[in-house]
């Protein structure tokens, strides 16, 4: 059966233009989903690293602190004994040697906590990127839920063309007033929306605008 919307030449041209635009979008999205696969692999690596850190904390860190406690007790006992030997150069040299050999080392727990914070930060970034990709996919699959101007804004915001924060907005829009205005707009969409997918995309838009604002500080 013939599509009634293709009854005249103008409608046919418009239909072809719509299809061409959609195909370009699909090509770009496919490239991004390849990159998404790399991000997901990175996410798995990060999770493995966090698990390894937990294992180190549960095993090696306990042994390290026990050994440090033993060394502290030995050092204090040896030094106290040597200081009871008055006016003895050899005793002073031996005390210095003991202090060096049994000196407290940097707290392994502090270093592990710093590493864990850095890895956790990377994990959160990867989760946000993945949420962006998911939102892009939802927009592609449910284009009827979003007005054209909103789609254009969201595709740019969610990194369709670049994942760099400053390139997720038009150059003239990289300002706090604009970001606050758009956040408020998508918050209204989120609160008043009836379609779960549209609400979820709006929620991610609010979050991404917030992350861009943080990057400007």
**Phi, psi at 43, each rounded to 5°:** -65, -40
pLDDT in tens, 114-145: 888 888 888 888 889 889 989 999 998 999 99
In a domain, 85, yes or no: yes
Plot region of 159 (φ>0 → left; ψ -120 to 50 → alpha; else → beta) = left
Residue range 176-205: average pLDDT? 95
Quote the mean pLDDT of the chain: 80
**pTM for this prediction:** 0.61
Q: Cα dihedral angle (163, 168, 171, 176), rounded to 10 degrees?
A: -120
**Do 158 and 169 contact (CB within 8 A), yes or no?**
no
- Sign of the Cα torsion 194, 200, 203, 209 reads negative
In a domain, 95, yes or no: yes
Tell me, rounded to whole angstroms, the distance of Cα 170 from its chain centroid: 23
In angstroms, rounded to a whole number, what is the distance separating the alpha carbons of residues 73 and 64? Answer: 14
In a domain, 168, yes or no: no
**Do 207 and 168 contact (CB within 8 A), yes or no?**
no
In a domain, 90, yes or no: yes
Query: How many independent structural domains does the chain possess?
Result: 1
- The parent domain of residue 16 ranges over 7-106
């Amino acid at each position: 059966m013939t599509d009634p919307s293709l009854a005249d030449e103008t409608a046919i041209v418009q239909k072809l233009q719509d299809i061409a635009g959609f195909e370009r979008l699909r090509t770009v999205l496919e490239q991004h989903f390849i990159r998404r696969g790399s991000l997901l692999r990175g996410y798995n690596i990060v999770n493995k690293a966090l698990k390894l850190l937990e294992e180190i904390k549960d095993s090696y860190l306990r042994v390290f602190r026990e050994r440090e406690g033993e060394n502290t007790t030995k050092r204090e006992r040896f030094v106290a004994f040597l200081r009871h030997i008055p006016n003895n150069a050899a005793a002073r040299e031996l005390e210095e040697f003991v202090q060096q050999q049994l000196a407290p080392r940097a707290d392994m727990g502090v270093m592990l906590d710093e590493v864990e914070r850095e890895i956790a930060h990377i994990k959160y970034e990867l989760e946000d990127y993945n949420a962006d990709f998911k939102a892009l996919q939802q927009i592609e699959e449910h284009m009827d839920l979003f007005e054209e101007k909103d789609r254009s804004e969201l595709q740019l915001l969610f990194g369709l063309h670049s994942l760099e924060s400053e390139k997720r907005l038009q150059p003239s829009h990289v300002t706090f007033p604009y970001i606050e205005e758009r956040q408020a707009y998508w918050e209204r969409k989120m609160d008043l929306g009836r379609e779960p997918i549209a609400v979820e995309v709006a929620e991610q838009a609010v979050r991404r605008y917030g992350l861009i604002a943080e990057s400007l500080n």
